[in-house]
């Protein structure tokens, strides 16, 4: 029996790695994880897969007792922004990260 891979999502949990974004969102005093690196193969898009993956990630974040879930989207990436809104992350601001990339920042308090 084969395994079909049609999408993936990553939950970033390293507080060191997230330090810049925590500062940007004034969340230095909290534990934060990031919904990042999500991809659904083009032929499977539009079926709610990204939304479902992000819901699973938020459940995991709750189990791990993080205070906040954050995420970022490129300003032109409507799909990315919509999927974040579907799982009720709030748009906070658009900013240029320390690597120079322009991103929309989102967050949700879960604790």
Ligand X SMILES: CC(C)(COP(=O)(O)OP(=O)(O)OC[C@H]1O[C@@H](n2cnc3c(N)ncnc32)[C@H](O)[C@@H]1OP(=O)(O)O)[C@@H](O)C(=O)NCCC(=O)NCCS
Residues of the shown chain interacting with ligand X in the complex, contacts defined by CB under 6 A:
37-40, 45-51, 77-80, 82-83, 86
Whole-angstrom distance, CA of residue 75 vs CA of residue 94? 8
Identify which of residues 11 and 49 has a Cβ nearer to ligand X in the complex: 49
Identify which of residues 93 and 111 has a Cβ nearer to ligand X in the complex: 93
CB of 9 to ligand X, least distance (A): 8
Strand order in the sheet with 32-40: 7-12, 32-40, 68-73, 102-109, 90-96
Among left, alpha and beta (phi > 0; psi -120 to 50; other), residue 18 is alpha
State the residue number with the nearest CB to ligand X: 79
Assess contact for 64 and 99: CB atoms under 8 A: no
CB of 90 to ligand X, least distance (A): 16
CB of 29 to ligand X, least distance (A): 27
């Amino acid at each position: 029996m084969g395994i079909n891979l049609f999408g993936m999502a990553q939950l970033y949990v390293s507080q060191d790695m997230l330090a810049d974004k925590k500062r940007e969102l004034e969340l230095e005093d909290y534990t934060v994880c990031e919904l990042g690196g999500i991809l659904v193969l083009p032929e499977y898009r539009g079926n709610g897969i990204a939304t479902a993956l992000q819901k699973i990630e938020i459940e995991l974040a709750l189990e791990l007792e993080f205070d906040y879930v954050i995420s970022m989207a490129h300003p032109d990436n409507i799909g990315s922004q919509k999927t974040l809104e579907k799982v009720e992350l709030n748009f906070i601001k658009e900013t240029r990260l320390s690597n120079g990339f322009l991103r929309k920042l989102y967050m949700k308090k879960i604790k």
